[in-house]
Amino acid sequence: MSFDPDEVQRTLRKAWSLSTSSLWTASNPAAGQCNVTALLVHELFGGELLKTPLPAGDHFYNRIEGRRYDFTASQFDQPIAYVDLLTDRADAELGATSEQLTKLRAAFLRHCTSTIPAGGTAGLPGVHQSASGSDFPTNRICPG
C-alpha cells in the first residue's frame, strides 16, 4: 500500500471547509474536523480508528500500519496526551454527519492528484462500498 501522510495532510487542508465542520475557520481549518477526517482516512487508507478522551469530548484519529496519524492535531493549542483507544466507525459517526463526510470525500478526491480508473472503482481490490451504494478506494495514492 502506498500512503504519503504529508500529501494526505496537504490535501485535507485544501478539502476542509465550513461544510465539513461548522467550527472551520481560515485561521484554524482543522477545528472540529477530527471525526469526519478520521472516517475519511479510514475509508481511503484502511487501518484503525482511535480516540482519546479530552475535556471537550473524544478526539478521533487513525493508526495505519502500526503508526498513529492525527491529521487534525493542529486545531489544539496544547499537545495531546494520547491514550489510543481503539474505536469503530459508529462511534466516530456520532460526531459527523453523512453530508459532512460526503462533502469531505468529494473535496479530497477533487484535490487529490491521483486518478480513479475509467468506469469507477467497483470491484477493484481495496475498495469498500458505502451504505449509499457508492464506492470509494481504501488505498488511494496521492502522489506529490
Higher pLDDT, 7 or 130: 7
Structure-block grid coordinates of residue 74: 493542529
Confidence (pLDDT) at 142: 53
Q: pLDDT per residue over 80-121, tens digit each?
A: 999 999 999 999 999 999 999 999 999 999 998 654 333 344
pLDDT value for 2: 66
State the pLDDT at residue 67: 98
Q: pLDDT tens across 33-43, in order?
A: 999 999 999 99
Q: What is the mean pLDDT of residues 61-70?
A: 98
CA dist 44 and 28 (Å) reads 24
Q: For the chain, what is the mean pLDDT?
A: 84
Residues 4 and 119: their CA atoms lie apart, in Å, by 25
Residue 25 has pLDDT above 90, yes or no: yes
Nearest to 53 by CA among 75, 81, 14, 17: 81
